[in-house]
Every structure is written in structure tokens, then in C-alpha cells.
Structure 1
Amino acid sequence: MPETLKRSEVRERQPAGFEVLLSAIEAVYATGDFATGLRFVERIGAAAEAVNHHPDLTLTYPAVHVRLWSHDAGGVTERDLALATTISQIASELGIEATPDRLSRIEIGLDTHDRPAVAAFWAAVLGYEAIDDLDICDPQGRQVTFWLQQSEASEEPRQRFHVDVSVPPDQAEVRIAAALAAGGTLVSREHEPAFIVLADPEGNKVCVCTSVGRD
């Protein structure tokens, strides 16, 4: 099994346009039209077949989204960085630019004192897979991930969800400023740059997260 790299190691070596988001590296390329995107995907497919390592690709009319991680290792490995470098080179040859400002990954966190029981329920109702009673993931990697945060039992059970939005480190302050301008409030910067806690006008919390300080 290949060795998983720390997020800090990946950030130091990731090619331009790619960013660490959770357990993967991702990039969004602005292709401008479907035909260019299709040519890009075909070139990526050929490169992936050549090394027998395959990214998750989403082709839309104006863009191609690339997500790379080693499923057998559960994170980013040397082969992901190698393929990301190849993909970056292909994009350059086709005149396609990466748009890291469009990158984000959303998770929903739920406080619970009984993670195995709660994980089993949410995995069943969503059609997801429970991983170590902590993360509940879409097996196709397309939908929002759930993660369970250990908490104390409550005398009055209540639903305690919060949203995590992971963005590239240089986009966090832009996202925070936009949220504050839209009526939000700053709750805490105690754990930045790993995450900053905001709240909407009614007090519902959200964490703006980055890969920095999360090895």
C-alpha cells in the first residue's frame, strides 16, 4: 500500500492550480466550452491509463473538475502528485487555466454521544458508507460528506448540525469577508488557520476550513 502524505507535504509540492481539500487534491479548469473540456478529459484519461491511476473527473459545459486521491491508502500519495503534475502540463498545452478560487468542499458535522448508532442510521438513510464511525461518505464521491463529532450526552436530545466549508488557504479570508458582508458574525478565530467559526443572522454556525494546521 502506498504511503499517505501529510497535508503540509502535499501543499509544498502540489502543482499550480491544485489545492488540498480534505483527503484529496483538487483543481477546477475553466475550459470555456464543452468540446475543449472533452479533449482535456480524453487526454487525462489516456495519461491515467498509462500509469494505472485514475482521478475523479466531472465534465460540464464551462469547466472540468479534477479530484485525486489514492482510495487504497485513504489519502494523497506520490502517485497523485505525479498525475496532478501531468494533468497540469496537459492543461498548459491546451491553453486551459486553473481557477482555484472556484474550489470548495462541503461537509456536515453532527454532534453525538453515540457515534456507532448515529453513523449506522445516517449511512442507511443516505445510502452512504460509514468509515470508522466518524465519516459517512457517498461511495461515489459526489455528495456532501457527514462527519460525527463526539459530544456529551444531553438530557434533552436536540439536533446539532453545523456546516464545514473547506477552501484553499488563500481563499479563506475572501469567503469570510463575503459572509460577514452578507449579515454574518464572527464567532471565533481561536483555531485559525485550520478553521474560523462564523454564524448566520440567526446564530446557525459554519466553519470556514483550510488544510493548514490539519496534519
Structure 2
Amino acid sequence: MRLRNKPWAKEKIDQHPQYIVANPELHKGKWLEVFNNNQPIHIEVGTGKGRFVTEMAKANPDINYIGIEKYDSVIVIALDLLIEADLPNLRLLNVNADELDKYFTKNDVDRVYLNFSDPWPKSRHEKRRLTYKDYLKSYEDIMIDKGEIHFKTDNQGLFEYSLKSFSAYGLLLTYLSLDLHKADFEGNIMTEYEQKFSEMGNRIYRCEVKYQN
């Protein structure tokens, strides 16, 4: 993804700590205090422009959502959506997914969403894929027992790789669709990429997996 630099992005982020949480490491193990409730927490790793996580928060007020995006120039677009919607059950984090353990601890998170992650198709870049075993371990370390990962992509190679990675890690497959938009799945909320790719005629793959411990 080619990013257009927005030199004003960091300043805008700093001006809205009520939406993009400043110093998120201070809330490790205490995220329910941020939301001031006891609702489950779902995170989207690589939230991009924020359409998915914002619409999910609108549709499910009984769930807390956290969208995680490392690029300043992208998360400010998600910030605009959140400012407009002003949802009490949604926050954003401008951090790197490689460091989730800095911001969350065991039992902080109930579900992880991975939507249209970078496929990193070259073999030498396998460790960068968000479904690589090290990432699966990092998700497990911050989730409740039997926590879930919900994964969507239009990239067949990444999907096949991810299914093998999930299986090798010992995750239980609970849902599988090889063509989501022709399936009977209800309540699908599209990301910006999903709409773009589906309009191009690309097949959308989706699965749900669960940790067994």
C-alpha cells in the first residue's frame, strides 16, 4: 500500500486522546476502565481507514472495539469516522501490531479481527504475515481462553497459508467460506478493501478459528 504523507497527522492524533488512546501501555490489564463497563473487547489488527471497526461498534453496542493501526496517515481517516460517530464503545491505537504485549495482557481481549492483511507473498517475508505462528502466539497471550480469530482476505495464497498456520498451531476451525459474498453468512460488514476487491470480481475468503486452551 502506497501511503500519502500527511505531515499534520501526528498533531491531529495528539488533539484527540479521547478517541486515539495516548500512552496505551498505561492501560495494560485495565482496558475495561477505559470503556467504563464490563463488556467483551474485540480488536482489529490493521484497522486501516476504520470502516469495519466503526460499523461493527455501531452494530454491537454491547461489545467494546479497539482498532489498531500503525500508520499516522491512515489512522487519521479512521479518526474522522470516529469523531463523526462518537461511539462510546470504540477506541483507536496508533501502535505497531508487533508489540501487542506492551499494551495488552492475558484476558484483555476476547476476539481478534484480521481483515485484508498484507499477504507478504515472498517466502523470506513469511514472519511478517499476521497469521504467522509468532503472531498467533502474541494473540493467544492477550486473549481469554478459547478466544477467537476472524480472518478475511481476497488473497488465495495467504488464505491457504493461514489455514495451514492455524492448523499447525492447534486452532480449531469453526467457520469457513471460500466465497463469502455468495455464502449465507449474515451480518457481514465490508472493509474499504473488501468493497474494492469484490467490485473487481475477486472472491472473498473468510474463516473463524478458536484457541483450544
Normalising by structure 2, report the TM-score.
0.26
Structure richer in strand, relative to its length: 1
Structure richer in helix, relative to its length: 2
Larger Rg: 1
